[in-house]
Structure 1
Amino acid sequence: METQFEIKTSTAAETEQIIDLILTIQRQEFNIPITAEDQPDLREIDEFYKEPGGEFWIAKHNDQVIGSIALINIGEGIGVIRKMFVHKDYRGKEKGIAQQLLERLIAYAAAKGINAIYLGTVQILKAAIRFYERNGFVSVEKANLPAAMPLMKLDTHFFVLHLNNEQ
């Protein structure tokens, strides 16, 4: 049976659900030693993502947040993906939630004049790495990341997607 879900921009009302979703996946599923305090952006979504020209989207099913993705606009035509998470019960190609979240972000980025989207992730998230590669992201060395890209101390693998043919 197909899961009915909607993708929308987040509001302050969903903050606690977003934090709960992300921390559960990070800590319980993948044993990543991170807290809400390590991620102050989650309590300041408007200031961190939206005001500089980015956005924060969520997937909702039955009024519950089941997925998230965010775009930081760091200027000079460069965006950074953050907070790409889908609840384990809603993952998989057949459900398409991660794919739709990513497509929404890419369409928004293109409309905002962003030419390159970067992201960092950790080795343990092998399925996420395969997902990004299937979507055209290519590996990039940490040394070759844009200077303005905010780094997460746990990230070990970095990728970029060029939205046009200019390199």
Structure 2
Amino acid sequence: MNNIYRDFTIRNWQERDRAAAASVIEQVLQEYGLPWEPTGADRDVLAVETAYLSAGGEFWVVERQGQIVGTAAYYPIARGEKAVEIRKMYLLPTARGMGLGKHLLEQLENAIAAKRFQEIWLETASVLKQAVLLYEKYGYRSATGVETKRCDRVYVKYL
């Protein structure tokens, strides 16, 4: 992945991005009163190589003027038929309101479809109102089976 959107660069995660990507996720979670769980739900961002890359997924960072301001990722899961889960789609406040979230979701869906996956799952929290609206607008349907404690919504989209 190497994609330009306005003055943002979306690119593949590199080892040097570990701390900055984790910091973005932690900041956004705190902004919404959600817990940062480095030994639980967020351990994957500290182990991108095994959680995503060697598992057949991807982890991207969003940069603006050399600073990481967002993340987006997915990896295969056993939940459905040829299924993936979108994870860690977070943007700092300075990167919101410009259509970047929509663009990221479209890029994720394109990458997932190119690998011939058939189902996209995701979990989110109701307090992330803009994310919920985005997923619902893009055809994600409410499902059951939330696996992450801080999340209270699960969605699926069939390709």
2:8 and 2:90 mapped to 1: Cα distance? Answer: 15
Structure 2 partner of 1:31: 33
Partner-residue secondary structure (3-state), 1:127: helix
What is the aligned-residue identity percentage? 29
Partner-residue secondary structure (3-state), 1:52: coil
1:79 and 1:35 mapped to 2: Cα distance? Answer: 22
1:126-137 matches, cutoff 5 A: 126-137=129-140
Specify every segment of 5 or more residues in structure 1 that has no aligned partner in the other structure, as ranges.
146-150
Q: Which amino acid aligns with 2:135?
A: Y
1:11-56, CA deviations, whole angstroms, 9 ceiling, x for partnerless residues? 11111110110101101x1111223333211111011011111101
Asked if the contact 1:59/1:97 (under 8 Å) is kept, the reply is: no
Query: Are 1:86 and 2:91 counterparts?
Result: yes
Q: Which amino acid aligns with 2:92?
A: H
Query: Are 1:161 and 2:157 counterparts?
Result: yes
1:26 and 1:42 mapped to 2: Cα distance? Answer: 13
Asked if the contact 1:23/1:36 (under 8 Å) is kept, the reply is: no
Partner-residue secondary structure (3-state), 2:86: strand
For residue 3 of structure 1, report the CA deviation from its aligned partner: 4.8
Structure 2 partner of 1:13: 16
- Normalising by structure 2, report the TM-score: 0.89
2:49 and 2:101 mapped to 1: Cα distance? Answer: 22
Partner-residue secondary structure (3-state), 1:14: helix
Query: Are 1:109 and 2:106 counterparts?
Result: no
For residue 161 of structure 1, report the CA deviation from its aligned partner: 1.1
Following TM superposition, the consecutive aligned residue runs of length 4 or more in structure 1 with deviations greater than 4 angstroms are none
Structure 2 partner of 1:148: none
Alignment: residue pair count: 152
For residue 108 of structure 1, report the CA deviation from its aligned partner: 1.0
RMSD: 1.6
Asked if the contact 1:57/1:101 (under 8 Å) is kept, the reply is: no
Larger Rg computed on CA atoms: 1
For residue 67 of structure 1, report the CA deviation from its aligned partner: 1.1
